[in-house]
Copies of this chain bind each other. A is one copy, B any other.
Amino acid sequence: MLEAPFRTSFRVTWAETDAAQVVHYSNYFRFFERAEEEFYAHLGFTFADTARRGLWFPRVEAFCQYKKPARFNDLLEVEVTVEELKEKSTKYGFRVFNKDTGDLLANGYVVVVAADRQTGKATAIPQEIVDKLKPFAK
């Protein structure tokens, strides 16, 4: 059975806005990453652990569609879904909502690869991470 998507909330800070008085488009990719980090924490991943294994998780692709602007102090809700779970990579989907109005502000995805820190080469995602992501995978 598919787990409900992970959701997390935070407010737009002043530093994230730009001179159009909306969140700068590049910051949505930081929102995606922050939601991904909180998803990992929710799953109980310890980063000390992956560092000890000599693993890191570079992004190889990133995409975002912008629907409506987010403004200073808006309460955002970011939903994380596991779109694809492959041997060496994961595709996470994201939807950013204004939590008060329910409006969809942006949606997108990132493709993350498991890589060996030394060689930089793609490597298999550790089994216990796969096991924890699987219930969320479509």
Contacts and interface: CB of A to CB of B under 8 A. Distances in A.
Contacts of A132: none
Contacts of A17: 18-19
Contacts of A120: 69
Contacts of A22: 19, 58
A25 B62 contact: yes
B69 A58 contact: yes
A14 B33 contact: yes
A13 B30 contact: yes
A20 interface: yes
A69 B60 CA distance: 10
B29 A19 contact: no
A69 B19 CA distance: 13
A59 B19 contact: no
Contacts of A25: 29, 33, 58-59, 62, 110
Given A15-B24, A59-B66, A62-B62, 8 more contacts: A13-B30, A14-B24, A15-B26, A17-B18, A20-B56, A25-B33, A25-B59, A62-B66
Interface of A: 11, 13-15, 17-22, 24-27, 29-30, 33-34, 37, 41, 47, 56, 58-66, 69, 71-73, 110, 120
